[in-house]
Amino acid sequence: MIENLWLGTKNVPAESGKTFTVLNPATEEVLAEVADGASADWMKALDLAHAAQKPWAAFAPQARHDILMDLFHAVMERKDEFATLMVNEMGKTWKDALAEVDYGAAYLRWFAGEAIRLPGRYAASPAGNGTITVRPHPVGPCLAITPWNFPLAMATRKIAPALAAGCTMIVKPAAATPLTMLAFGEVVAEVFARHDVPHGTLSFITSTDSKNLSKELMDDPRLRKVTFTGSTKVGQTLVEQSAKNLQRTTMELGGNAPFIVCADADMDRVIKGLMVAKMRNNGQTCIAANRFLVHSSRVEEFQEKVVDKFQSYVTGYGMDETTTLGPLVNAEQRDHVAKLVDQAIGAGATALTGGFTPQGPGFFYPATVLTDVKPGADILKEEIFGPVAVISTFESLDEAIERANDTKFGLAAYAFSENAHTVARLANELQAGMVGLNRGGISDVAAPFGGIKASGFGREGGAEGIDHYLELHYVAQP
C-alpha cells in the first residue's frame, strides 16, 4: 500500500516519486510505503498556504467555528479507524488509542469555541484625546512539526487554534507515524469541500528530510510561525533558524518530570496517579514522570506496590484485548531505554523488576523499576521515554523540592501530600510549566500546556492557545 501526501485537498505522490517504509512496532511488519516529500513538495505547500491566507482569514469566526465542529464530528465518526491506525503505527494499546482520539478531537471542539471568542478591546484613551481599539489578526502561514508519540492529538492541538485564528498551515508529521495524519488529511479534504474552504489552507507533507524541510520553509519570509513538539536539541535549532525572518515560535520540548511522594501521602492515590503519569502510552509521553522521590518512611510500601503493578502488565500487540503494555515506537527508542537502564545497573543500581531487553519480533521493553541509582547517572538527567521508574528517597521537603528542580527541564512535575500547607508550597516552588498535585493526569484541552527552562516556551490549549496565532493591531482614533 502506498500513501500519498496532501497538498491542500489534493492527495498526490511526492514530486520525486520516492517513498519510505512505515513499520508496525509490535510485529516489525511493513504497514505502508509513504510519499517521501522533498523541496518541490513543501515549497508548493507554502505557495498554496500563502495564496489561501487572505481568503481563509476572510471567513467569519462563526464559519471557522462550524468547520472545526464539522471536523470534530467527522473524526469521532471514524474513531475506531483512527485508533486502529495508531495501534498499528505507534504501538499504543487499544485503550490508549481510543483515549487519544477523544483527546485529539476535543481540541477541534475546544478551538471551535475559541474562534468566536477572539480577544480584543475598545477603550477611551486615559489622556482623553481619543479611543484605543485592539484587534486580533492571524499571524499568517504556519508550519507545524509534530512528534510520533501522539500522532493525532499533537497535530490537532496545533491545527485547531491555527484554523480558529484564521491561519493557514503546513503540517509535517513524524516519519515513524505518518498514517494517522494522512487519514486526517482525508477527513479535512471532505469537510473543507463541504464548506468551500480555500485550497491550500491546510497541507500535510510527509518526509524523512525534516532538517531541510524546516530550513527551506523558514528561509522564506512568507512563513510567519513555527510550532514544534519534540526534542530540546531540535527545538534550539528551529529557534535559531527563526531569527532570520523573525518568525514566531512555540516550542514544546523535552521533560524530566519529578514525582514526589510525601510522608503523609495517600498511597492508593499515589499509585493510581503513577500509573497515569508514568505508564500511559507505554511510558512515551513528554510529561511522563521520570524521577520518583519518595519519603524514606514510605519507600518500602511504595516499592512493593509499584513492583506489584508493574509485574501485572501484559506485553503484546495493542489490538489484543489482553495487552496492557505495547512496544516502543522503534528499535532506536527501545535501545535508548535499554542503554540507560543497563548503564544504571552497571554502575550499581538494582532492578526490582524488568531491566532486560526481550528477544523476538517487536520493539518491546518490560515495565522496569530501578533503585539505588547513583547520583549523576544519565537515567536521572535524560528523558527516558519508556516504562521505567527510577526510585530514590528523601528526608525533608526542602530536599525533595531541591532535587526535583535540579534539572535543566521544566515541563511537568507531580507531588502527593494530604497536608494543605505542603501542597501550597509544592504548587509555588516546583519549577515546571505544569504541576499535578495529588493527580497523575494533567492534560486538559481547556488548560495551557507547555514548559519552562529547556522544556521550551509558549502554550498550547486553553484560552491561551489561540494567542500564539494572533497578532494584535492597535488603532488610534479621535
How many Å apart are CA 314 and CA 302, to the nearest integer?
A: 21
Q: Is 247 helix (H, G, I), strand (E, B) or coil?
A: coil
DSSP string, 102-157: HHHHHHHHHHHHHHTS---EEEE-TTSS-EEEEEEEE---EEEE--SSSTTHHHHH
Residue 64: phi, psi to the nearest 5? Answer: -65, -40
Q: What is the pLDDT of residue 166?
A: 98
Q: Which helix (H) or strand (E) holds 256?
A: none
Q: What is the pLDDT of residue 359?
A: 86
- Only one residue has cell 504548587, namely 427
* Residue ranges in 209-266 assigned as alpha helix (H): 210-218, 232-242
The Cα diameter of the chain in Å comes to 77
Amino acid at 419: N
How many Å apart are CA 395 and CA 262, to the nearest integer?
A: 9
Of residues 255, 254, 224, the one with CA closest to residue 242 = 224
Homologous superfamily of domain range 257-444: Aldehyde Dehydrogenase; Chain A, domain 2 (3.40.309.10)
Radius of gyration of the chain (CA): 23
Q: Is 252 a catalytic residue?
A: yes
Q: Is 73 helix (H, G, I), strand (E, B) or coil?
A: helix
Order the strands of the 19-23 sheet from edge to edge: 2-3, 30-35, 19-23
Instruction: Identify the active-site residue in 3, 100, 114, 252.
Output: 252
Residue 155: phi, psi to the nearest 5? Answer: -85, -45
How many Å apart are CA 285 and CA 306, to the nearest integer?
A: 19
CATH 3.40.605.10 domain extents, the chain: 2-253+455-477
- Only one residue has cell 469541500, namely 193
Of residues 366, 360, 387, the one with CA closest to residue 28 = 360
Kindly state the cell numbers that stand for 395: 528526608
CATH 3.40.309.10 domain extents, the chain: 257-444
Of residues 296, 304, 299, the one with CA closest to residue 397 = 296
**C-alpha torsion angle, residues 344, 345, 350, 353 (rounded to 10):** 100
Pick the CATH number of 2-253+455-477 from 3.40.605.10, 3.90.400.10, 3.40.50.150, 2.60.40.1930: 3.40.605.10
How many Å apart are CA 90 and CA 364, to the nearest integer?
A: 12
Length of the chain: 478
How many Å apart are CA 104 and CA 133, to the nearest integer?
A: 35
Cα separation of the two ends of the chain:
64
| Per-residue pLDDT tens digits of the chain, which is 478 residues long | 799 999 999 999 999 999 999 999 999 999 999 999 999 999 999 999 999 999 999 999 999 999 999 999 999 999 999 999 999 999 999 999 999 999 999 999 999 999 999 989 999 999 999 999 999 999 999 999 999 999 999 999 999 999 999 999 999 999 999 999 999 999 999 999 999 999 999 999 999 999 999 999 999 999 999 999 999 999 999 999 999 999 999 999 999 999 999 999 999 999 999 999 999 999 999 999 999 999 999 999 999 999 999 999 999 999 999 999 999 999 999 999 999 999 999 999 999 999 998 888 999 999 999 999 999 999 999 999 999 999 999 999 999 999 999 999 999 999 999 999 999 999 999 999 999 999 999 999 999 999 999 999 999 999 999 999 999 999 999 9
